[in-house]
Chain A
């Protein structure tokens, strides 16, 4: 794999808070990544450091084989669409397009205007007068039309209605097919993008929990439902992420439970198996176990 960006032992502290804790990974060329994790997990901080906007406390990052901080050669190939991007008070949508055209080497003006028409972005409107959804549409348009070899979208869909979000996914995929690049999509709408992302980076409380192919992850976890003893038998020797009681039955979320052997065992024990979606898996991996009602957990034992 050709890496466009790497991080080694990346740590970022804000006073007592450790936003990123010894994170190491590599981003491959021509791949769409899903950067997943709960609020405050460290996703935005990670993207800020990769784009030279913030400084790591320790560890190092390399983007296109060089440190990104204050490096015009690197940054000219990078576009970071921030959810909380601030725009100058006097800027209109048209000003944003004109300045982006002058500063992004691969900017496609025709594409930008066609996207603006799709999202019904009014060129003459002041950016500060845009609704939340329109502001997101503006960010998405800039991020797509910049065609940067490494593009970060930080929660780009905020306030976008489902139709606009679908438009974004469709346009991203179509343009990606014609102009392959590395896209990192930070999002909470995991099910919506689960067909779009090829690889998943999951961060939880500053630590990198997963860095795997999305296809592998989809078959990774399973919900096993059945009588308590049967589920115990099935879960024995496997990592159990979660357990809940459903009208006399037990439902356990178990890792690596979809192989042929596991299926045969489940059939013998009369345990029903149901593959977990990417979103459910992420929830199970990042929600602390204490959130399950204690009585349920007692009963499950």
Chain B
């Protein structure tokens, strides 16, 4: 464990950039959203939900990918094993997801306390989380963040194994598979059943349970890819 912690510290010099870019992009999205809400504001309107917090997702994916592709060749060069590297980056993903989730909980609280930033703009809160207890709220932010960070790591390992071609081929295959699945569901008229199944799930299962499985699947994939990667 101590060794994994030391390997994880390889990312430390990159933190100002990782945190800066991720939250910088989110801040810009927040500003643009707020201006747009102000421009269209009518005091009779209720609260507008922008969903702009997804901008944080892009940052989380991109930064994870860059950090894997930048630091892995160096780690291998100073006698770190691929396994140690992957475990360290997985650990970083967990720590980062929890920290980001705490910040998001805080921003959501500020959002509610300021009457949605004074202009009725819901940016950080999400409507289906309104009834969540504090623990579920934290998980509801942290677990999806964990999924996205592991997706970023997975894309990074794809790049390490097969370069840009690997990433593009991977994305193409994924979109093809998703498109075919959607077609199949439409063909067999199953959307209604899927909708019902989703409604039957508890908030905990939807926000934390199933996403944890997705994160685990991404982690298994990334781990298998990196074990044969060369710098």
| Complexed CA–CA distance, A102 and B6 (Å) | 6
Complex contacts, B134 vs chain A, CB 8 Å: none
Is A54 a contact partner of B77 (Cβ separation < 8 A)? no
Partner of A75 from the list B10, B73, B74, B79 (CB cut-off 8 Å) is B79
- B-side interface residues, number (CB < 8 Å): 25
The reply to whether B230 and A54 contact each other, CB–CB distance below 8 Å, is yes
B5 to chain A minimum Cβ distance, whole angstroms, is 9
- Which stretch (A32-40, A92-100, A207-215) binds chain B? A92-100
Is A64 interfacial (CB-CB < 8 Å)?
no
A53-B231, A55-B228, A102-B9 in contact; A87/B81 too (CB < 8 A)? no
> Which residues from A are CB-within-8-Å of B13?
88, 90-92, 95
Given contacts A71-B81, A72-B84, A90-B17, contact A53 B74 (CB under 8 A): no
Inter-chain contacts of B84 with A (CB < 8 A): 72
Alpha-carbon gap, A80 to B17, bound state (A): 29
> For the complex, what is the distance from the CA of A53 to the CA of B6, rounded to whole Å?
20
A104 at the interface (CB under 8 A from B): yes
Instruction: Let me know if A78 and B228 touch, CB within 8 A.
Output: no
Which B residues between 70 and 119 are near A, CB-CB below 8 angstroms?
A: 70-71, 73-74, 76-84
Contact A72/B81 with A55-B228, A91-B74 known, Cβ cut-off 8 Å: yes
- Interface check A166, CB cutoff 8 A: no
Interface contact B79-A51, CB-CB below 8 Å: yes
Which residues between 162 and 186 of chain A lie within 8 Å of chain B, taking CB atoms?
none
Asked if residues B227 and A70 are in contact (CB atoms below 8 Å), the reply is yes
Nearest A residue to B80, CB-CB: A103
What residues on B are CB-neighbors of A88 within 8 Å?
10, 13-14, 70-71, 74
Select B83's contact among A51, A55, A70, A99, beta carbons within 8 Å.
Answer: A70
Q: Which of B10, B14, B77, B83 contacts A85 (CB 8 A)?
A: B77
With a CB–CB cut-off of 8 A, which chain A residues contact B227? 70
Given contacts A72-B3, A75-B80, A88-B74, could you give 14 more A-B pairs where the C-beta distance is less than 8 Å? A51-B79, A53-B76, A70-B227, A78-B79, A85-B73, A86-B73, A88-B14, A88-B71, A89-B14, A102-B9, A103-B6, A103-B78, A103-B80, A104-B78
7 pairs across A/B with beta carbons < 8 Å?
Answer: A48-B230, A86-B74, A91-B74, A95-B13, A99-B78, A102-B6, A142-B78
